[in-house]
Amino acid sequence: MANTSLIKLEHDTRIDAAAERLSMTRREFLQFCAALAATLGLPQGADAAVAEAVAAKKRPSVIWLHFQECTGCTESMLRAEHPTLEKLILDVISLDYHETLFAAAGHQVEAARLQAMKENKGKYVLVVEGAIPTKDNGVYCKIGGKTALDLVKECAADAAAVVAIGSCASWGGMPSTSPNPTGASGVAKVLGKPVVTIPGCPPNPYNFLSTVVHFLTFGKLPEIDQLGRPKFAYSRLIHENCERRAHFDAGRFALEFGDEGHRKGYCLYKLGCKGPETYANCSVIQFGDAGASTWPVACGHPCIGCTEQGVGFQKPIHTLAKLKNIEPNIQFPRINEEKGLGANLGSAAVLAAVAGAAAGGAAMAARNLGLSHQAEQMEEARKAGQQAKDSTEV
- Per-residue pLDDT tens digits for 56-102: 666 778 899 999 999 999 888 877 776 666 666 556 677 888 888 87
Task: State whether residue 281 is helix, strand or coil.
Answer: coil
> Between 229 and 37, where is the model more confident?
229
Same domain, 212 and 247: no
Q: Quick one: pLDDT at residue 327?
A: 59
Residues 166 and 86: beta-carbon distance below 8 Å: no
Whether 72 and 193 share a structural domain: yes
271 within domain boundaries: yes
Helix axes 26-39, 46-56, angle to 10 degrees: 120
Mean per-residue pLDDT for 191-198?
91
- Domain end residue (candidates: 189, 210, 232): 232
State how far the alpha carbon of 304 is from the alpha carbons of 197, 205, 309, 311, 358, in Å. Answer: 19, 19, 11, 7, 53
Assess whether pLDDT exceeds 50 at residue 366.
Answer: no
CATH of the domain at 114: 3.40.50.700
CA distance 51 to 49: 5
Tell whether 47 is covered by a domain. Answer: no
Q: Of 285 and 374, which is predicted with more confidence?
A: 285
- Does residue 172 share a domain with residue 106? yes
Q: What pLDDT was estimated at residue 67?
A: 94
176 plus 261 within the same structural domain: no
Confidence of residue 14 (pLDDT cuts 50, 70, 90): confident
Tell me, yes or no, whether 197 and 227 share the same domain.
yes
Beta pairing, strands 132-133 & 146-147 = unpaired
Q: Is residue 46 part of a domain?
A: no
- Residue 175 within a domain: yes
**Both 176 and 307 in a single domain?**
no
When pLDDT is cut at 50, 70 and 90, the band that residue 390 belongs to is: low
Cβ distance 76 to 205 under 8 Å?
A: yes
- Res. 25: pLDDT tops 90: no
Same domain, 154 and 245: no
Asked, for residue 372, whether it belongs to a domain, the answer is no
The CATH number that applies at residue 297 is 4.10.480.10
Residues 132 and 208 in one domain: yes
Same domain for 63 and 159: yes
Which residue range(s) make up the domain with 282? 236-336
Same domain for 307 and 275? Answer: yes
User: Beta partners for 127?
Assistant: 64, 163
One domain, residues 260 and 125: no
pLDDT at 340 over 50: no
Q: Is residue 43 part of a domain?
A: no
If one counts the domains in the chain, the total is: 2
Domain boundary among 232, 263, 283: 232
Q: Which of 2-11, 125-134, 204-213, 356-365 has the weakest average pLDDT?
A: 356-365
More confidently predicted of 341 and 188: 188
Q: 295, 316, 336 — which closes off a domain?
A: 336
| Range with lowest mean pLDDT among 153-157, 159-163, 183-187, 340-344 | 340-344
Mean pLDDT value across residues 140-168: 93
For residue 322, being part of any structural domain is answered with: yes
Q: What would the mean pLDDT of 263-292 be, rounded to a whole number?
A: 87
Q: Using one digit for the tens of pLDDT, what is the confidence trace for 169-194?
A: 999 999 999 999 999 999 999 999 88
pLDDT of res. 135: 95
Region of poorest pLDDT, from 31-45, 108-122, 145-159 = 31-45
User: What three-state secondary structure class fits 278?
Assistant: coil
Whether residue 165 is contained in a domain is answered as yes
pLDDT at residue 16, as a whole number: 82
Same domain, 82 and 221: yes
